Amino acid sequence: IQADGTEGNCVTFVLHDEDHTLGNSLRYMVMKNPDVEFCGYCITHPSESKINFRIQTRGALPAVEPFRKGLNDLMSVCQHVLSTFE
């Protein structure tokens, strides 16, 4: 993961070797945070496997915090689904 943009509350993360599966799920988890003003992603080109994932927060909250929380929440949901399935 690399981050473009130096503003703390508005950052574009570049996720390599990912597609809509992670992009849409992570976008949903991040948007559940009330401090997030905008969250969206795009795939740069169909032949490239990378996502530009942008987060903008309200106030002085750094964008990396809801990004990490979204990833952790998504991992928790996946673990719950896996344990329930097994």
In sequence order, what DSSP letters do the residues of 48-61 get, joined into one string?
A: S-EEEEEEEESTT-
Domains of the chain: 2-85 (3.30.1360.10)
On the question of pLDDT at 55 being above 60, the answer is: yes
At 64-75, the pLDDT tens digits run 999 999 999 999
Question: What pTM does this model have?
Answer: 0.86
Specify the pairing of strand 36-43 against strand 10-16: unpaired
